[in-house]
Amino acid sequence: MLPRYCLLALAACALAQSAHAGSSEGDPCSRAAPGAEIPEPRELHSEHGVLEVELSIHNYREPDGSVRYCYLLPDGGESPALRLSPGDLLILHLTNDLTDISPSGKPPPVGAHSHAAHSRETHGPDPCSSGAMTPVSTNLHFHGLTVPPVCHQDDVLRTSVQPSDGPFEYRFRIPLNEPPGLYWYHPHIHGFSSVQVSGGASGPMVIEGLERATPDVAGLPERLLVIRDQALVNPDAPPSKSEPVVPKMLIDRDGDAANNGTGFGKPAKDLSINFVPVPYPDYPPALLRMRPGERQLWRVLNASSVTYLNLAVLFGRTAQRLGLVAIDGVPMNAPLGRSPPVTWVDHIGVPPGARVEFILDGPPLGVPALLVTRTVDTGQGGENDPNRALASIVASADAPEPQSKLPAVSEALPPPAFPWLGDVTPLRVRHFYFSEKLQDPKNPNSATDFYITEEGKTPAPFDPSAAAPDIVAYQGDVEDWVIENRSTELHAFHIHQLHFMLVDWLGMPVNEPFLRDTVNVPYFRPQMLQYPSVRLRMDFRDPNTVGTFVYHCHLLEHEDGGMMGTIRVEPAAASPEPAHQSRLKVPDSHNDQVSATRPL
């Protein structure tokens, strides 16, 4: 008998099963062929306030030597979208089926684990405290959610699940005040996050209710698109003949194709869209069909390990208007009345780990249309992220409707639990900086150590065994963090358990009445008179932020290489300062305007 969620989505199940039927024998992490039609992720909805899911993580070494990772449901469905509402209970049973897939190892037979997984007994250290960091260790991070950083919820510092463990249970409620929007889950084992995520271990989460914050999206069909990066399928291929001649391809110190500043040439990574690969050098676009002129809500997740996106939709060669309604899971008008519910733009920058949700009107019949990512200047030391197509959008009268549609009518969201973050005077200001150093200064091609350091301290790579956190804050506080970039490549700052507000960009005040959890920090050029920086207003008012968690660069090669720190948020009662509660300030009139700076 099919599982209950398959009975509710027979078409999605059939699509997933047909995709796996085309995979190579023994490969649990199948992928579609380039140019295939984009499948929709399997959607699992909470019922009566509860969503219970069984997931297993697998890996497989392909004949070309590349490695894939995937999350599977018991019937083989891959990386489901978890859909919950504020207040719902998520119970997720994670089974670790990773194996040693070193070149000398043999891949496991597909399905060999399935019937034995529930009979396992835990051996070795407690998964809640082991902190093991090995190629076959794993855990889950629920990116963007404000849930406690403790075991069985969202701890990534000590929680480590091994193949010898039984199914490990994650159990928590979605906070009642969690903003409605797009979030995601992925592994977060230090030293191995990049290989697992770039291998495909990621999946989307949707917190329902966006139409309650943004009535403009009410009743719209919604499309969920997950863009991932992966090792190049054709690493030795010359560039396409349709591209201009570019300078000789260089390799950066991470081992990827270096930024050449032209917008063309070999990329650091290939991209895929809902697991349909779009490989270098010709970038055959995946196929996306929609009804002529239909208005849809697109929810797009950049689940890449290192790749920046700069998304645009072209009809012919003309960029179309995209109605941006949410960034990083937070509606643009979450502080009601401070910004328009929809901000119309013609391109959207999305760093690794970030999410955007926007309104799009489909093309008329016969009009060629493309979803593309434009080149991103990552700096002299960064990876190459060139112009490339992602999907061909084809208008068709018989195109199937997306599997989900937002409610046409819904009550408004309740008032926010706290005053608007921009109206709060921060209690203190902290200064941090990103920096890098060659492990062998005499060898320009040697490996790199990556750091994020509080001003006044000596740079040191993240130490997972450290007993003390890098910094301490107190629940109830609001702080400003100034983050400089002293390296020659672009970095993407991310912090767990909370969202923040961008206050300054390159020393200039910006008017952004919305929140993020990931933001770019511009790279340093030798001719600059000072290091580029951003100023962020950090919000520790929510009790769910109490505990120890991490902040880091979301280029996962950098995080794995040491560019991560820890913060411990103590309960408010432990604060040594009687006036630890940050003060409200009088709003400025310019706070009612949307920032004129780039969206991301």
DSSP per-residue codes, 503-558: EEETTEE----S-BSEEEEPPP-TT-SS--EEEEEEE--SGGG-EEEEEEESSHHH
- Checking if the pLDDT of 25 tops 90, the result is no
User: Contact at 8 Å (CB) between 165 and 120?
Assistant: yes
pLDDT tens column, 438-482? 888 888 777 889 999 999 999 999 999 999 999 999 999 999 999
What share of the chain in percent tops pLDDT 70? 87
d(CA 485, CA 421): 25
For residue 579, what pLDDT is reported?
52
* Residue that wins the pLDDT comparison between 319 and 416: 319
For residue 30, what pLDDT is reported?
87
For residue 595, what pLDDT is reported?
40
* Residue that wins the pLDDT comparison between 14 and 162: 162
For residue 582, what pLDDT is reported?
65
Identify the band that residue 66 occupies on the pLDDT scale cut at 50, 70 and 90.
confident
d(CA 72, CA 16): 11
H/E element holding 7?
A: helix 4-8
- Checking if the pLDDT of 283 tops 50, the result is yes
- Checking if the pLDDT of 64 tops 70, the result is yes
Which top CATH class is 4-210? mainly beta
3-state SS of the chain: helix, strand, coil percent to 5?
10, 35, 55
d(CA 282, CA 237): 10
Q: What is the mean pLDDT of residues 323-351?
A: 88
pLDDT tens column, 227-276? 999 999 999 999 888 888 887 778 877 778 989 899 999 999 999 999 99
Average pLDDT, the chain: 88
For residue 596, what pLDDT is reported?
38
- Report helix, strand or coil for 574: helix
d(CA 298, CA 84): 18
For residue 160, what pLDDT is reported?
97
Q: Provide Rg for the chain, Cα atoms.
A: 23
Residue 597: DSSP 8-state: S
For residue 63, what pLDDT is reported?
85
Q: What is the mean pLDDT of residues 391-399?
A: 97
For residue 589, what pLDDT is reported?
36
Who's near 96: CB < 8 A, 6+ residues apart? 56, 57, 136, 137, 138, 161, 162, 163, 165, 168
Please tell me the CATH superfamily of domain 221-405, with its number. Cupredoxins -  blue copper proteins (2.60.40.420)
User: Domain limits of the chain?
Assistant: 4-210, 221-405, 421-592
Q: What is the mean pLDDT of residues 210-229?
A: 96
What is the distance of C-alpha 102 from the center of its chain? 27
* Residue that wins the pLDDT comparison between 142 and 123: 142
Same fold, 4-210 and 221-405: yes
Residue with tokens 């961008």: 502
CA distances for 190 relative to 131, 365, 462, 564, angstroms: 9, 49, 9, 9
- Amino acid residing at 278: V
Identify the band that residue 114 occupies on the pLDDT scale cut at 50, 70 and 90.
very low
Predicted TM-score (pTM) of this structure: 0.90
- Report helix, strand or coil for 572: helix
- Checking if the pLDDT of 10 tops 50, the result is no
Identify the band that residue 581 occupies on the pLDDT scale cut at 50, 70 and 90.
low
What's the CATH architecture for 421-592?
Sandwich (2.60)
User: Contact at 8 Å (CB) between 297 and 405?
Assistant: no
- Checking if the pLDDT of 592 tops 60, the result is no
Please name which of 336, 352, 524 lies closest in space to residue 419, comparing C-alpha atoms.
Answer: 336
For residue 116, what pLDDT is reported?
33
For residue 165, what pLDDT is reported?
94
Q: Of 114-118, 159-163, 500-504, give the lowest mean pLDDT range.
A: 114-118
- Checking if the pLDDT of 17 tops 50, the result is no
For residue 158, what pLDDT is reported?
96
Q: Of 8-17, 82-91, 559-568, 576-585, give the lowest mean pLDDT range.
A: 8-17
Q: Where are the alpha helices (DSSP H) in 140-279?
A: 193-198, 210-213
Q: What is the 3-state secondary structure (H, E, C) of 8-70?
A: HCHHHHHHHHHHHHCCCCCCCCCCCCCCCECCCCCEEECECCEEEEEEEEEEEECCCCCEEEE
* Residue that wins the pLDDT comparison between 547 and 590: 547
Total residue count of the chain as it appears in this document: 600
pLDDT tens column, 483-525? 999 999 999 999 999 999 999 999 999 988 889 999 999 999 9
* Residue that wins the pLDDT comparison between 8 and 256: 256
- Report helix, strand or coil for 122: coil
- Checking if the pLDDT of 14 tops 50, the result is no
